[in-house]
Structure 1
Amino acid sequence: MQTAGVAAEFGLLFAAALAAVLAGLAMAVLAAWALRRVMADRLVDGAIRRLLKTPYPENLWDLVIGMTRVPPTTLLEVELRADKGELLERPLGGLTRVSRWEDVAFNPAQLARPPLPPEARIDTSTVIGPRAARPLRLETPLLVSAMGYGVGVNKAFALALARGAHMAGTAYNAGSGPVLPELLDSRGPLILQFTGASWNRDPGQLARASMVEIRLGHGARAGLGRWIRTDRIPAEARSLMGGEGAEHMILDAPLPESRDPQAFRDLIERLRRWTGGAPVAVKLVATHDLERDLLAVVEAGADVIALDGSEGGTRETPPVLADDFGIPTLHALVRAVALLEAAGVRQQVSLIVGGGLRTPGEALKALALGADAVYLGTVVMMAATHGQLSKAIPFEPITQLVWATGRLAGRFNPEDGARTVANFLRACTLEMAEAARALGKDSLRAIDRSDLVARTPDAARMFGLPPSWRPPGSRAP
């Protein structure tokens, strides 16, 4: 019993000691937490007092004011200009998005006119260049815009864009770079550009195009040509361009032929003969002289006008051109349609619009306002990298997977890229078809301005649409 009592006493003493240790630890933790809180409070109080009492030249908040006046992107470009003293070129176009597609809305069918049932078949096809001997017929009005091999994207990426577009029943624009033999051998529709560069003027190549696009301007580069540094072009591309040994190559714009009306007409007729009657398009940047430019193209006999608004993107361009030149895509579209209707050629000359369009809704609004098809660029590039972002991010931008000389170009999987491009285009087309059912229309081509309303006074005035805040047929007070 005595042994048990000693053991019990020892146990109580041990428990008490342990409790004391734990209590001491707890007190120490509480003390440390309290001290840390006191120190934190003092630091915060000191910082607040400094912010509220220190004059501006020494006040830390001056940095916030500076960042407000010169936001991060602008500050970055200030630093880049200051570092090298060279022409700054930014990827993917301008930062300013002026086209307010959200100010225009569709008017759903309900009782006044019925929607279509879920099983209703919707015709999503479009015909580009209807008066051409062999028009370009596509299953969707969504086209993959010009992203040229070598001068823009790498080979695997270009092939992924083309295959993805073909899988979705639409066309890929090979852009202003050299044409890959694999693209010429592909079975899907291919748009080839005719530019001021020798590598884009081969009659044998152009004869295999589904459409030829004469490139005069670009939304992100205005009407300028460009110097192309050959050290930024892969060896295979340099060989196809005939640039071996040269430091620079020149991509002229606008073309010399476009400066003389008769030479311009002769060029379009010559391209028509080379291609056996494929549509001949002219790509224009949207300027405030748009109507004069359009009339010159119509009089020259073009089958298609491809209009690039100021929100268009590119591999690289000086920020001043991308941000401060041209007119918005939405404004240009409305003006172009009005001109073509006034000239009486709306049914003969197709209109493709591009520059900053991102969603099926924006594309469908462009169609409703009068476009026959839309070019999609940056969003398709993003779709092509879906599932492969981890190959670049977080340490590199995704463009390193995309650009011709990107450090990670070899990691891009073209089969996966083609699949995700096709998925994106198909999904967008399905959304547009569902929207057509909601409008009571069995064809995307049947959707027009009568299906739209304006959500703002500016949109109502600008686009001539009925305002959503007044009943149909009512007059403005």
Structure 2
Amino acid sequence: MLLSLLAMKMLDPVMDEAMVKMMTEAYEDNPFLLVTALEKLTPRAAIEAAMRAESGTVLSRPLGSPVVRSPWQDILLNPRQLFSLPTASLKEVSTRTVIGPTAKKPLLLDIPIMITGMSYGGSLSLAMKEALAQGAALAGTSTNTGESAVTQEERKAARFLIGQYHRGGFLSGQEQLSQLDAIEIQLGQGAWGGAVEEPITIPKDEHLQKTWQLEHEKSPATIYSRMPGKSSTKDYITMIDSMKSQYDVPIGVKIAGTDYLEYELAVIAQTQADYIVIDGAEGGTSAAPPTLQDDLGLPTLHSLVRTVQWLKENKLRDRFSLIIAGGLTTPGHFLKALALGADAVYIGTIALMAAMHTQALKVVPQAPPSQLALYTGKMNDKLDIDQAARHLFQFLTSCTQEMKLAVQALGKHSCKELCLEDLVTVDRELAEWTGIRYAGQSRKKQTVELDEYTGSHTATETVAPTLH
């Protein structure tokens, strides 16, 4: 108490002088100018300008862009109560999900929430990769190697492991690919603005060098803008079909969402792929230049809606499973994405946050929580793998339970049954381009006819409702 009083007494004249200066001096000599400057520039732009001035190199921002343009909050789910009844019991609600149903070995998941590609070495520590694999396994869902290779530790911990056949070439060959439950050909990433060259500095880590099949720490490690050896669209089609002919597991193609989306989908439609991953610009990453994160690509919601519309227009919706990724964080997001046409969702940053949970206090406030998870994190040795896995599992369990409650309220029996009729929006413009009903317009009166034997109903919309 005494120390507090002494500190206040010492600060009082300093604060008095600062306040007088702010209230009386002209702007050019007034410290308040910093406030107006930050309002104009934004604190983020000012700090990043200072970082660029200090380093003179490309910035590398973890966890993705702070710019979120997908208006998920303007979309609401549509429960039923009387004209059509809610589902009788939660036990009737299924969250089972199938990726690549026509593949010889489809990927059968208990929930439609999957852990996205985050690489060991290029992104996360081996300990965090093990934790994500364990937590996903407990929840009955998949994890993903990202732009790395299969490690014994991750393969052992995972129930379902998706491997990214990527532009760095670290995951390739029969020995690696035969260990996977699905193969994802990674041609772009939302947080990187699509596909660009990404040199990777490899520390003196024998485990990582062996995993990536590098001879020593000075060996080059680069994620290229193109698949090595591929110089045409036809080369990519041939590569995807070749992969499909060699393996029984689902083969997927991952691209970043851009305004050329329909052109990209037209190419994928010429392949024998089983599933498509669309990664919106709001996706996260371990590190990418802010310009690629903030100013390139298409928001996740726009990417999803346009993908589903194109597949339906071309009668291809049933041919491909569709996974959407990029900034999805809540059960509400997941449900809306499924109702818009996705078969499953990928999550990344929010999965890391859930896994770290209170363990983040081991590094905060001295360092950001990312230092606990990243491969380059100075405190990643403090992560308790089992505890992180348990918290991820509990997060996924909580999300699933809330999703099942919502599905029950909608009168459906499965996440697979969700569709546009389960959504409504308060934004007229949003309604126009998504096909979701606009909440500002009243519904037409429904004539409901009950089947006397089964109690089921059919509803036919006629004129606007009136009271009698």
TM-score normalised to structure 1 length: 0.87
Whole-angstrom CA distance in 2 between matches of 1:170 and 1:466: 32
SS across alignment from 1:385: helix
Matched-pair contact (CA < 8 Å) for 2:363–2:371: yes
Mean Cα deviation higher: 357-366 or 197-206:
197-206
SS across alignment from 1:432: helix
For residue 331 of structure 2, the aligned residue among 355, 360, 371 is 360
Whole-angstrom CA distance in 1 between matches of 2:324 and 2:306: 12
Would you say 1:263 and 2:235 are equivalent positions?
yes
Whole-angstrom CA distance in 1 between matches of 2:251 and 2:229: 15
Partner of 1:466: 437
Shift, 1:256, TM fit: 4.8
Gaps of 5+ in 1: 1-31
Partner of 1:220: 191
Whole-angstrom CA distance in 2 between matches of 1:452 and 1:108: 9
Matched-pair contact (CA < 8 Å) for 2:244–2:273: no
Whole-angstrom CA distance in 2 between matches of 1:235 and 1:265: 36
Amino acid paired to 1:249: A
Shift, 1:245, TM fit: 3.9
- Please show how residues 187-202 of structure 1 align to structure 2 within 5 Å: 188-202=159-173
Q: What per-residue deviation string (whole Å, max 9, x for no partner) do you get for residues 67-88 of structure 1?
A: 2112222222111111111111
Whole-angstrom CA distance in 2 between matches of 1:368 and 1:269: 30
* CA 1:47–1:197: 2 relative to 1, 3 Å: closer
Whole-angstrom CA distance in 1 between matches of 2:306 and 2:405: 28
Amino acid paired to 1:226: E
Whole-angstrom CA distance in 2 between matches of 1:255 and 1:247: 19
Whole-angstrom CA distance in 2 between matches of 1:160 and 1:41: 53
* CA 1:72–1:248: 2 relative to 1, 3 Å: farther
Whole-angstrom CA distance in 1 between matches of 2:19 and 2:369: 40
Matched-pair contact (CA < 8 Å) for 2:209–2:217: no
Whole-angstrom CA distance in 2 between matches of 1:350 and 1:41: 67
* CA 1:53–1:163: 2 relative to 1, 3 Å: same
Partner of 1:396: 367
Shift, 1:147, TM fit: 1.0
Matched-pair contact (CA < 8 Å) for 2:134–2:158: no
Partner of 2:451: none
Matched-pair contact (CA < 8 Å) for 1:215–1:253: no
Amino acid paired to 1:291: E
Q: What per-residue deviation string (whole Å, max 9, x for no partner) do you get for residues 212-268 of structure 1?
A: 00011001112113101113x743112221331426411123325665344323322
* CA 1:254–1:52: 2 relative to 1, 3 Å: same
SS across alignment from 1:300: coil
SS across alignment from 1:102: helix
For residue 86 of structure 1, the aligned residue among 57, 60, 79 is 57
Q: What per-residue deviation string (whole Å, max 9, x for no partner) do you get for residues 152-192 of structure 1?
A: 11111101101111110000011111321223344611100
Would you say 1:152 and 2:123 are equivalent positions?
yes
Shift, 1:445, TM fit: 0.6
Shift, 1:456, TM fit: 1.3
Would you say 1:378 and 2:341 are equivalent positions?
no
Matched-pair contact (CA < 8 Å) for 2:90–2:408: no
Partner of 2:225: 253
Whole-angstrom CA distance in 1 between matches of 2:90 and 2:353: 31
SS across alignment from 2:92: coil
SS across alignment from 1:220: helix
For residue 100 of structure 1, the aligned residue among 67, 71, 75 is 71
* CA 1:257–1:68: 2 relative to 1, 3 Å: same
* CA 1:351–1:41: 2 relative to 1, 3 Å: same
Gaps of 5+ in 2: 446-462
SS across alignment from 1:283: strand
Whole-angstrom CA distance in 2 between matches of 1:351 and 1:258: 25
Partner of 2:40: 69
For residue 410 of structure 1, the aligned residue among 356, 378, 381 is 381
Q: Which has the higher helix share?
A: 1
* CA 1:42–1:226: 2 relative to 1, 3 Å: closer
Mean Cα deviation higher: 447-456 or 185-194:
185-194
Give the count of matched residue pairs: 441
Shift, 1:43, TM fit: 6.5
Partner of 1:8: none
Partner of 2:201: 229
Matched-pair contact (CA < 8 Å) for 1:229–1:247: no
Partner of 2:252: 281
Partner of 1:138: 109
SS across alignment from 1:317: coil
For residue 396 of structure 2, the aligned residue among 409, 425, 436 is 425
Whole-angstrom CA distance in 1 between matches of 2:419 and 2:231: 35
Matched-pair contact (CA < 8 Å) for 2:64–2:283: yes
Matched-pair contact (CA < 8 Å) for 1:303–1:349: yes
Q: What per-residue deviation string (whole Å, max 9, x for no partner) do you get for residues 315-335 of structure 1?
A: 000000001100100000000
SS across alignment from 1:178: coil
Shift, 1:472, TM fit: 1.8
- The structure that has the greater radius of gyration is 1
Mean Cα deviation higher: 55-64 or 113-122:
113-122
Amino acid paired to 1:101: W
Shift, 1:197, TM fit: 2.4
Would you say 1:319 and 2:290 are equivalent positions?
yes
Shift, 1:274, TM fit: 3.4
Partner of 1:349: 320
Amino acid paired to 1:199: F
Shift, 1:437, TM fit: 0.6
Whole-angstrom CA distance in 2 between matches of 1:283 and 1:239: 26
Shift, 1:105, TM fit: 0.4
